[in-house]
Amino acid sequence: MIPGTPSRRVRVGLVQLSVATNRRTENLARAEGLVAAAAADGCELVVLPEAFATALNLPKSHEVAEPIPGPVTSWLASQAARHGVWLAAGVLERAGEHVHSSAVLVDAAGRIRDVYRRSVVYDLEAHFLTGEVGARAVDTPFGRVGLVVGYDIQFPEVLRTLFADGAEIILCPSILLRPFAEPVRQMLLARAAENCAYVLFAAATGENTLAGLTYMGRTAVVRSPMAIGAYSRDFRKQTPVLAEADREECVVAADLDLHELRRMRDAAPFLADFRRCGLSEALADATSAPHPSVTDTVPPHPAQAVGESR
């Protein structure tokens, strides 16, 4: 693939994983099988849920969290390199005294390309988790990609920095709970529309035994609903939800068309309008915190399997 020339089509696979608390080895084993299935299905970009290996496990989060790079990151790198896929996943990260619900993007050679810490922390989590503002997009063969995590989706400004940074595909590993399902679905549709981007929402399913609640599931690949020319009748209604699941453990796969997205973005001048009104600079200033752990020259990380088990 020639650098700088994005694929016209890219098949993505979102792994809707059943995430069990205190069952790390089992979670990784199931994830491994589903990543392999996604790769066998031709997926080039695969996304796992938030904190997929450990769950958030708030009372024990400081124990179960790990540094990035670290064991789960190495596991991701080895899976990515084994299958030659880009792989994004949520990792419960320990950084000093803080615990973050983070996400990592590794490339098909197993190198870390982006690390992102969830910006917004929910009320009850605030005793255990720390948020960190600073979303940004990175170049990939599939176009510009940005990461957000779970609860961030409720806060449009988190994604707006990605919009201002030219993100075309927004990845959202999630471990949100079932009561949020309807508003989250509405927000996914709006986020894709207002940011004129694909939104890949990879949700956890299964039971949060600590909370006595079920994870939301409803993984979905969502796109902007409509392409229109400025003041012309030449518009096409598009189905915004390209693929979705209910609550079963599975891979949700879809084909994205980056050339079509770029034509849409050119035809609908939201970004230019956004910049003209002056709000994008303010957001950029506010959210320009550097990303942790990733420098501009990305050192290669050797692909290593995780040997330890819990």
* Sole binder of a second copy in the list 2, 4, 237, 296 (CB under 8 A): 237
Identity of the residue, 8 or 275, whose beta carbon is nearer to a second copy in the bound complex: 275
290 is a site residue for a second copy (CB under 8 A): no
Sign of CA pseudo-dihedral 200, 205, 211, 213: positive
Distances (CA, A) of 145 to 6, 19, 67, 162, 308: 12, 25, 23, 8, 31
DSSP assignment, residue 141?
T
Site string for a second copy, 135-174 (x = CB under 8 A): ----------------x--xxxxx-x--------------
Among 25, 29, 84, 282, binds a second copy (CB under 8 A): 282
120 counts as binding a second copy under rule CB under 8 A: yes
Please state, in angstroms and rounded to a whole number, the distance separating the CA atoms of residues 105 and 126.
25
Which of 56, 89, 240, 254 binds a second copy (CB under 8 A)? It is 240
Taking a C-beta distance cutoff of 8 angstroms, is the pair 44, 85 a contact? yes
CB 36 within 8 A of CB 15: no
Query: For residues 245 and 283, which CB has a smaller minimum distance to a second copy in the complex?
Result: 283
Backbone angles phi, psi at 106, to 5 degrees: -115, 150
Residue 228 binds a second copy (CB under 8 A): yes
Beta bridge partners of 93: 66, 100
Q: Which amino acid is at 13?
A: G
Per CB under 8 A, 131 contacts a second copy? yes
Q: What residues line the site for a second copy (CB under 8 A)?
A: 119-124, 126, 131, 133, 151, 154-158, 160, 177, 179-180, 182-183, 186-187, 189-191, 193-194, 211-213, 224-226, 228, 230-231, 233, 235, 237, 240, 269-270, 272-274, 276-279, 281-283, 285-287
